[in-house]
Amino acid sequence: MQYDLILRGGRVLDPGGGVDTVTDIAFAGGKVAALGEAIGSAKAAEERNVAGCMVMPGMIDFHTHVYWGGTSISVDADILARQAGTTTWLDVGSAGPGNFPGFLKHVIEPSQTRILAYLHISHAGIFAFTIMGESEDLRLMSAPACAKVAREFPDAIRGVKVRIGANTSGSNGIAPLYHAIEAADLAGLPTMCHIDKPPPRYVDVLEVLRPGDILTHCYKPFPNAPVYADGRIKEGLWAAREKGVYFDIGHGRGSFAFKVARAMLEGGFPPDIISSDVHVQCIDGPAYDNLVTMSKFLCLGMPLTEIVRAVTATPAHVLKRPDLADLTIGTTGDATVLRIEDGDFLYTDVVGEKMRGKQRFALDSVVLGGRLWHAASDALPA
């Protein structure tokens, strides 16, 4: 059989499929076509030696802002993908019911990398990021209108987003979350809740979230951290995880602290999902992209397989798109190929703490739809 692409000699690591082996993987017709001995001496239109690299399902960055040109917060997904290796972006709340069709037509549909979305409960999404919190005005929130748009575009819209806290909902407190949950319930979707400074309290939000909902910024620093000052994990987190709430990192500009991460990991509470919350105010640090965020967890001691799971199988499960995190034959032909580099690397969190690590993830190449889309050795577009 003639394949379109064969990646030879890499460590194929697919936690969702239970695969972890050094082997060849072949793609044809936009799908995974063969693995291991089945490839044999077959030829391909293009072959790449990835010995020493890790071949994983296409990376999903579960918290991003990529409505480029439509909101002041957003970045260009395809340009960043050539640095970060992301094949699927979840934009969470950049657009709302009033402007989602523009996001779909002008950004999502032309994008070479895949973009899915959580629709903001607020009419125009995150429309004034540096000026005011969009959840400060409840007049902008209509659960029926949000649910209607979500039902119109089910392939693209996978959930409802809301931002609450002193910086984003102000005196409205937790109220916007009730509107978001109502919209999500009407549309049959999960809710993702951003939390910043209190009120409301972290644990109060967890009590309201339903099974399948997501709390993002789960390792945020004080105030409203998930741990007490002595490092103990707050009781409400265990109950929420048992209930079925997912915990997402959402690093961003202000939502990831090494001190909190160490306490959470040492206390046996790893994140379900690792994401960058990349936007214009953190793309040049401290978040940069999801490879940097993943590298921080690698240096904090999180097992490699669980890091990969947190950017593939778990987010794909939450999105109800298991095909996006599966390298078995016949599945979506996306893959991210990474190297783990040794050295002396300096990492920074959102409160300015520095951490030196001995390893980092580095991009080798990106496969989209069964074809080599980008190799790190290629020149980046101007």
What is residue 379's predicted lDDT score, i.e. its pLDDT? 57
Which whole number is the average pLDDT over 166-173? 96
pLDDT of residue 129: 79
The average confidence (pLDDT) of the chain is: 96
Percent of the chain whose predicted confidence (pLDDT) is above 70: 98
Task: Give the integer Cα–Cα distance in Å for 253 and 276.
Answer: 10
Please give the order of strands across the beta sheet that includes 191-195: 59-64, 86-92, 114-120, 157-164, 191-195, 214-216, 246-248
Q: Is the entire prediction scored with pTM above 0.85?
A: yes
Cβ(303)–Cβ(273) below 8 Å: no
pLDDT at 381: 53
> Is the pLDDT score of 115 beyond 70?
yes
10 Å Cβ neighbour count for 205? Answer: 23
pLDDT, average across residues 290-294: 98
Q: Is pLDDT of 352 > 60? A: yes
- Taking only the tens place, the pLDDT of each residue in 301-317 is 999 999 999 999 999 99
Domains, the chain, in order of start with CATH, read 3-56+329-375 (2.30.40.10), 59-323 (3.20.20.140)
Q: Both ends of the chain: CA-CA distance in Å?
A: 38
Kindly report whether the peptide bond that precedes residue 223 is cis, defined as omega within 30 degrees of 0: yes
pLDDT at 382 over 60: no
Give the pLDDT of residue 256: 98
Alpha-carbon span 118 to 277, nearest angstrom: 13
| One-letter amino acid for residue 369 of the chain | G
What confidence score (pLDDT) does residue 11 get? Answer: 98
Report yes or no: 310 and 274 within 8 Å, Cβ to Cβ.
Answer: yes
What are 122's strand-pairing partners?
141
Structure tokens of 140?
């902008």
Confidence (pLDDT) at 153: 98
pLDDT in tens, 41-94: 899 999 999 999 999 999 999 999 999 999 999 999 999 999 999 999 999 999
Among 376, 372, 366, smallest CA distance to 56 is for 366
Contact 207, 235 (CB under 8 A): no
Query: Is residue 69 packed enough to be buried (19+ CB in 10 Å), middle (13-18) or exposed (0-12)?
Result: exposed
Looking at residue 216, what is its pLDDT? 98
Answer for the pair 118, 130: CB distance below 8 angstroms, yes or no: no
C-alpha 75/C-alpha 200 separation (Å) is 29
* Region 6-15 average pLDDT: 98
Strand residue runs (E) in the chain: 3-14, 19-28, 31-35, 44-49, 54-57, 59-64, 86-92, 114-120, 157-164, 191-195, 214-216, 246-248, 335-348, 354-368, 371-375
Using one digit for the tens of pLDDT, what is the confidence trace for 117-140? 999 999 999 988 777 899 999 999
> What is the C-alpha separation between 220 and 218, in angstroms, rounded?
6
Question: Is the predicted pLDDT of residue 245 greater than 60, yes or no?
Answer: yes
The pLDDT of residue 380: 55
Q: What is the band of 291 on the pLDDT scale with cuts at 50, 70, 90?
A: very high
Query: Going by C-beta distance under 8 Å and a sequence separation of 6 or more, which residues neighbour residue 32?
Result: 25, 26, 326, 327, 328, 329, 330, 331, 332, 333, 370
Average pLDDT over residues 326-339: 96
Structure tokens at 316: 């794909």
d(Cα 313, Cα 16) in Å, to the nearest integer?
5
- The predicted-structure confidence for 186-222, as pLDDT tens digits, reads as follows 999 999 999 999 999 999 999 999 999 999 999 999 9
Statement: residue 227 has pLDDT above 60: yes
Q: Which residues pair with 347 in a beta bridge?
A: 355
Q: Which residues of 343-382 are buried (b: 16+ CB within 10 A; e: fewer)?
A: eebebbbbeeeeeeeeebbebbbbbbbbebbbebeeeeee
Mean pLDDT of 96-100: 98
Q: Residue 40 has what pLDDT?
A: 85
